Amino acid sequence: MSAADAHGGVLGSATPTTVTVHATPTEDATVTALSKEKLVQEVQQLKDQNEPDFFGWLRANASLLLSTLVVVIGGLIGLWRWLGDRRDAQEKVLKDQQSEREKRAEERFQAAVTGLGDDKEGARIGAAILLRTFLRPGYEQFYTQTFDLAVANLRLPRTPHPTEDPDGLSYPPENPTVAQSLTTLSQALIVVYKESFPLARDTFLAHGIFKEEDTRYGLAFLDASHIQLDHAYLHTTDLKQAWLPHAFLRKANLTRANLTRANLSEADLSEASLFASNLRAASLLGANLSRAGLTGALISVRPSSLVLTSTRPNLLMPISAGLISVRPSSLMQICVTPH
């Protein structure tokens, strides 16, 4: 059998086949819209699940946050208490240290007071020098006591040696009308006086207790009346408003000293150096200024209260009220007469 016959046999024996075609249904527009909306909602839900929601997170973690907040607050309270206790402890330590310093300072001051009453002059000199340590900043409570102590000891007569010496020789007492010589002790006490007075004065005035009229002619509460300052070196010393009635300032060096509104009534300033000193508004009633150097001094006087005596005998020249500046001349004496 040939190939063509075989092919024809195959075709002749084939069974006819029927093919069925199904048509694709068309979607309704409403269903499509609902599907899209559902899809959008699902996408939004996924986004909400992935993105944090503060309030939702807060609700979910409220208990954890509350417990954490309690721990933090407790820690802050503990820290605040610790800082307070530490501050109180530091303040207590500082207070104790201050009390200890004041106690030691008081003991040293009492030692100086005791030393000034010692029989040995060397001990008294050492005590006088020690007093200057109480004029530093931080020792304000000792300023007035130091001043009073110096004044009290400067009122005592200067005795470079005892009246009765161990060798049996007696020494005549000093002449009260003559300027007393300086001793090592008196020099040390004078330094304490001139350094303590401005400090004590300024400390009192800083409190504003005293009115201007109360301090017009010196500060009576810093009383240095009858003080012994013969031959004292008080160059440029601040003695403003000093209370020095009946003081002994014979041959003292008061050049350029500030004696404004000082009370020098009845003071002995004979042969004192008052060159270029400031005596404005100072009280000089009854003061002895014989042979005092007053060149360049500024003095304010009241009418007929100041009389200058020249080298020519029996020549008196009343000075009118106001401020005068003494110039080099033949003036030898100044006598202040109360009226």
* Same domain flag for 88 and 193: yes
The per-residue pLDDT for range 255-265, each reduced to its tens digit, is 999 999 999 99
Number of structural domains (the chain) is 2
Strand ranges (E), the chain: 278-279, 298-301, 306-309, 316-318, 322-325, 333-336
Structural domain includes residue 32: no
* Same domain flag for 205 and 248: no
Structural domain includes residue 7: no
Which pLDDT band holds residue 296 (cuts at 50, 70, 90)? very high
Smallest Cα–Cα separation from 232: which of 254, 214, 212?
254
Q: What per-residue confidence (pLDDT) applies to 123?
A: 93
Structural domain includes residue 30: no
* Same domain flag for 282 and 314: yes
Structural domain includes residue 328: yes
Q: What per-residue confidence (pLDDT) applies to 196?
A: 96
Average pLDDT of the chain to the nearest whole number? 78
Structural domain includes residue 22: no
Smallest Cα–Cα separation from 155: which of 244, 237, 260?
244
Structural domain includes residue 88: yes
Last residue of a domain, one of 194, 209, 224: 209
Q: What per-residue confidence (pLDDT) applies to 184?
A: 94
* Same domain flag for 191 and 290: no
* Same domain flag for 203 and 221: no
- 173 alpha-carbon distance from chain centroid: 48
* Partners of 176 in the β-ladder: none
The per-residue pLDDT for range 160-215, each reduced to its tens digit, is 554 445 454 555 556 677 889 999 999 999 999 999 999 999 988 887 766 655 56
* Same domain flag for 242 and 194: no
Q: State the Cα–Cα distance between residues 140 and 196, nearest whole angstrom.
A: 10
Token representation of residue 6: 């075989």
Specify the residue for token string 């508004």.
281
Containing domain of residue 291, as a range? 213-339
Last residue of a domain, one of 171, 193, 209: 209
Structural domain includes residue 200: yes
Specify the residue for token string 């409570």.
141
Q: What per-residue confidence (pLDDT) applies to 188?
A: 96
**What Rg do the C-alpha atoms of the chain give, in angstroms?**
53
* Same domain flag for 185 and 278: no
Report strand pairing: 278-279 vs 316-318: unpaired
- Average pLDDT for 264-285: 94
* Same domain flag for 240 and 307: yes
Q: What per-residue confidence (pLDDT) applies to 325?
A: 47
Last residue of a domain, one of 190, 209, 228: 209
% the chain with pLDDT above 70: 68
Q: What per-residue confidence (pLDDT) applies to 220?
A: 87
Q: What per-residue confidence (pLDDT) applies to 251?
A: 96
The per-residue pLDDT for range 71-129, each reduced to its tens digit, is 899 889 998 988 888 888 888 888 877 778 788 888 999 999 999 999 999 999 999 99
Q: State the Cα–Cα distance between residues 191 and 91, nearest whole angstrom.
A: 38
* Same domain flag for 219 and 201: no
Which pLDDT band holds residue 131 (cuts at 50, 70, 90)? very high
Q: State the Cα–Cα distance between residues 68 and 74, nearest whole angstrom.
A: 10
Smallest Cα–Cα separation from 287: which of 299, 269, 305, 310?
269
Q: What per-residue confidence (pLDDT) applies to 93?
A: 83
Question: For 51-61, where are the alpha helices, taking DSSP H only?
Answer: 54-60
* Same domain flag for 190 and 264: no
* Same domain flag for 197 and 220: no
CATH number at residue 294: 2.160.20
Left if phi > 0, otherwise alpha if psi is -120 to 50, otherwise beta: which for 40?
Answer: alpha
What residues contact 315, with CB distance under 8 A and at least 6 apart? Answer: 309
Which pLDDT band holds residue 310 (cuts at 50, 70, 90)? very low
Contact 218, 261 (CB under 8 A): yes
Residue type, 271: E
| Minimum mean pLDDT range among 53-57, 77-81, 272-276, 298-302 | 53-57
* Same domain flag for 186 and 234: no
- Better-scored residue on pLDDT, 306 or 230: 230
Contact 322, 300 (CB under 8 A): yes
Q: What per-residue confidence (pLDDT) applies to 105?
A: 84
Structural domain includes residue 312: yes
Q: What per-residue confidence (pLDDT) applies to 231?
A: 96
